[in-house]
Amino acid sequence: MMSGVDFSVKKEDINSSAERIPTAVADFDAIIGGGVPRGSLVILKSEMGAGNIEFVITSMAKLILAKEDREYSDFFLRKSRGFIPEKFLFITISRAKEDLLREVRSSFPQDYYEAISKSVLFKDFSADYFRATVVPPSWAGEETSIFRKDRGSGNILEELIGFLDTNAPQSMVVLDALTDLVITKKIEFYDLVTLLKGLQRVAKKWQGVIYLLLTANILEPQKELLLMDSVDGIITFEWSKSTKTSKRQRFMYVEKFMPLLLHLDNERITKFAIEINAQEGLVVSSYVRV
């Protein structure tokens, strides 16, 4: 337990706890009121390797294990009364499912890998993303036969909408990565912004949580602000070098997210130092107060 912070469940949090979805990063959840509000659309903005993919892998794996076993629930969620999603979806735009699972297997506990490989519904849009580019269909995992089923419309945003409409209600959704959709010339940027605004509205009806992974510092500031204005929350991951040592430290902070910021302002916490290890995934190691 970290000094100065009461991690017990407060009375005022009990009635609203069912409206929260734990991140399963226990010390973070304890401070922000139990998790993120249901129906949230959240951008996880990260410098290269700073932690957003590790955050969602840790969250997804722990929630799946907690859903399957009460002992895991007590251990991982610290008896949180929050809502655990009914389904878990991982959407890739240019990355193969097998590559992601290989990384999970080599970098996270075995039970995390087993939970994700068995219980997560993967959807790979690589074939649509690379179509009509210099990348050969075989490289993108697309069958070249004219008899291939599920050829799709070729419009990646339409295909994404159809998949989410069918599967996203009551689910935890990870889109890896919003970055791919931002940089491709096949999608008009303002069409993407409009999609996010619509997704923000319908997410309230679906009552799950949607995490969008975005690489920091690839967009001009005006476009990045447009994306940030189109979602409920922004959680940022960055590297910082200590003045006392040569070691770099990962930090996580809430850039935008009113319900979470209210809790952080009350505790006067500005950001969380995070670590990623092979035993637990992403964990909060300490925090910085004002």
Three-state DSSP class for residue 249: strand
Task: Name which residue leads in pLDDT, 81 or 120.
Answer: 120
How confident is the model over 28-79, as pLDDT tens digits? 999 999 999 999 999 999 999 999 999 999 999 999 999 988 777 777 776 5
Asked if 29 and 252 touch (Cβ cutoff 8 Å), the reply is no
- Residue 73 CA to residue 90 CA, distance in Å, equals 22
Find the Cα–Cα–Cα–Cα dihedral 122, 80, 71, 169, rounded to 10°: -30
pLDDT of residue 288: 93
- Residue 215 CA to residue 47 CA, distance in Å, equals 6
pLDDT of residue 6: 37
In a domain, 26, yes or no: no
Token pair, residue 73, equals: 């629930």
pLDDT of residue 147: 38
In a domain, 27, yes or no: no
- Calculate mean pLDDT across residues 97-107: 95
Q: Residue 16: pLDDT above 60? A: no
The total number of structural domains that make up the chain: 1
In a domain, 237, yes or no: yes
In a domain, 16, yes or no: no
pLDDT of residue 144: 44
In a domain, 264, yes or no: yes
In a domain, 21, yes or no: no
Give the closest residue to 37 by CA, choosing from 62, 55, 24, 18.
18
Report residue 7's pLDDT band, with 50, 70 and 90 as the boundaries.
very low
Residue with tokens 């226990």: 26
Give the domain extent around 62: 33-289
- Calculate mean pLDDT across residues 146-157: 61
pLDDT of residue 57: 97
How confident is the model over 168-223, as pLDDT tens digits? 999 999 999 899 999 998 899 999 999 999 999 999 999 999 999 999 999 999 99
Three-state DSSP class for residue 108: coil
pLDDT of residue 36: 96
CATH code of the domain in which 82 resides: 3.40.50.300
Q: Residue 5: pLDDT above 60? A: no
In a domain, 183, yes or no: yes
In a domain, 12, yes or no: no
Global pTM reads 0.89
